[in-house]
Structure 1
Amino acid sequence: MTNRLQHFSYGGELIRFERLTRPKAGKLLIKVHPDCRVEVMAPPQTPDEEVLAAVKKRARWIYEQLRDFRQQLEHVTPRRYVSGESHLYLGKQYLLKVIVAPSSVQGVKLLRGKLEVSVRQPGSETVKAQLTQWYRTRARELFAKRLDAMLEQALWVVDRPPLRLLNMQTQWGSCSPNGRITLNPHLVKAPRECIDYVILHELCHLAEHNHSERFWRLLGQVMPTWEKTKQLLDGMAHRLLTS
């Protein structure tokens, strides 16, 4: 079963949700994520009409969850890229230290619990550009290593799939019909187990192209703790995408 987008109205608002197939038979499960995505997991045999009716019964709760998350997003302090800010890398917090030296080589170093950014002239955009490039370089190197490690578990994959990086607002990864895996460079700020989860998730799509029951069963075989890890990643989503 492929994913399907559905919607309903509540409080004068059109609320969209994505229906996913629940890996195990059971009750319908509704999740509202910090980035305001709404997912509904249901057994494959459940008719869409029944799913929609169940979602409407929880409409008020969904609406309130979305309202609370949106309020949190509104009060996030914008990044200034100055010394003393805290930035994430592999799930850990690092203090930012900006060094302005006109004759220095611009770049970023991870040193003694700090992210040291050297720039020739002051300015938040200059610091941001250096930090963004550093994250991207680290992501490219680390994702390639973790992909090789995860391929040892993904026995159904014959050839190493091509890998690319792409900034995405609502996805950590994707798998194209021709087998190319795309990962969000912001993912490098998450704990290593979250990176492994996303990579394994996409490798499972090489065998099962949609979120069918077989897909979730396969993911559960290679990563029994995937649900806990996904919950951790979902809870960090906004911080990772804005830090």
Structure 2
Amino acid sequence: MEKKIYDNDLGTILLRTTPRATRYTLKISKGMITATMPEGGDEGWMLSFIEENRQKLLAALKKHPARPLLNEATALQATTFRVEIFRTDRNNYYMTLKEGILRIACPSGTRFESDRVQEILKDLLEKALRHEAKRLLPDRLMALAARHRFTCTGVRIMNSKTRWGSCSTRKSINLSLSLMLLPWHLIDYVLLHELCHTVEMNHSDRFWKLLNSVTDNKALALRHELKGYHML
């Protein structure tokens, strides 16, 4: 069972009751607090629990704010295109990617605050990012591998939400389509990071020395810069 309540400081709070829960827990995801309690739990006790943790929750919300809604005011610049979202008189959603602009058309009555609408827009954006990632990243990875004499046995584009890339023991590399939200120098950093894992499968001193050698001694600076970006 679920219901939403609103707090002036904490924003929308999702109250969930589930038989799988064995205790009262609080979690923040995408800027919203989810309060979970066991089946038959006491809602009043949960509200008190939230109140007891108010200051911790406020601090956590500052670190993990809600992502802005995708809507007509969105000014998103991806690696190879910028996004324009607008309303039309048509009854369906559609998009075009041309001359560096991804245009997403929405029905005139679209409610952008709707979770379903956000899912649709995110799916369309994901489709465009996947297209660009498949078109550009494998060749770029192989070119970097050849330039720095790495051996890569394969590359796949994935929709990872937690890792920009990964490398298997067989020297096959997975890349997140979210890479196409980064500037090119950070994309190259991630590609080189994974290529270095074809030689060093951990993050030892040898790994960082190798990564430094192929990034003009900028590995740590690029790593720090990457932390300022978020995945789709």
TM range (shorter): 0.5 to 0.7
1:184 to 176, 191, 194: 176
In structure 2, C-alpha distance between the alignment counterparts of 1:70 and 1:86, rounded to whole Å: 26
2:62 aligned to 72, 80, 87, which one? Answer: 72
Which residue number in structure 1 is paired with residue 86 of structure 2? Answer: 98
Larger Rg: 2
* CA positional deviation for 1:132: 1.4
Aligned counterpart, 1:230: 223
Q: How do 1:147-186 and structure 2 match up within 5 A?
A: 147-157=141-151, 160-186=152-178
8 Å Cα contact 2:165-2:175 kept in structure 1: yes
1:193 is matched with 185
Secondary structure of 1:128 counterpart: helix
**Distance change (3 Å), C-alpha of 1:213 and 1:204:** same
Q: Which amino acid aligns with 1:147?
A: L
* 2:96 maps to amino acid: V
Cα 1:132–1:222 change in 2 (3 A) is same
The verdict on how the C-alpha distance between 1:185 and 1:206 changes in structure 2, with shifts beyond 3 A counting, is same
RMSD of Structure 2 on Structure 1 (CA): 3.1
The 5-angstrom pairing of residues 1-20 of structure 1 reads none
Cα shift at 1:135: 1.0
TM-score (norm 1): 0.59
CA pair 171-104 structure 1, distance change in 2 beyond 3 A: closer
2:197 paired residue number: 205
Which residue identity lines up with residue 126 of structure 1 in the other structure?
Answer: I
Q: What amino acid is aligned across from residue 136 of structure 2 in structure 1? A: L
Name the structure 2 match of 1:83: 72
CA contact (8 A) 1:153 1:222 kept: no
Aligned length: 169
User: Match of 1:87, as an amino acid?
Assistant: L
- Displacement of 1:115 in angstroms is 3.1
Match of 2:11 in 1: none
TM norm structure 2: 0.61
Indicate if the aligned counterparts of 2:162 and 2:231 stay in contact, CA closer than 8 A: no
Q: Which runs of 5 or more residues in structure 1 are unaligned?
A: 1-65
Preserved contact between residue 174 and residue 183 of structure 1 (Cα < 8 Å) = yes
Provide Cα deviations, 1:108-147, integer angstroms capped at 9, x if missing partner. Answer: 32557x5311357854443332221001111121211321
The answer to whether 1:138 aligns with 2:132 is yes
Q: Does residue 116 of structure 1 match 2:109?
A: no
Give 1:72's aligned amino acid: K
Residue identity matched to 2:214:
V
* More contact order relative to length (CA 8 Å, sep ≥ 6): 1
Q: Percentage identity across aligned positions? A: 27
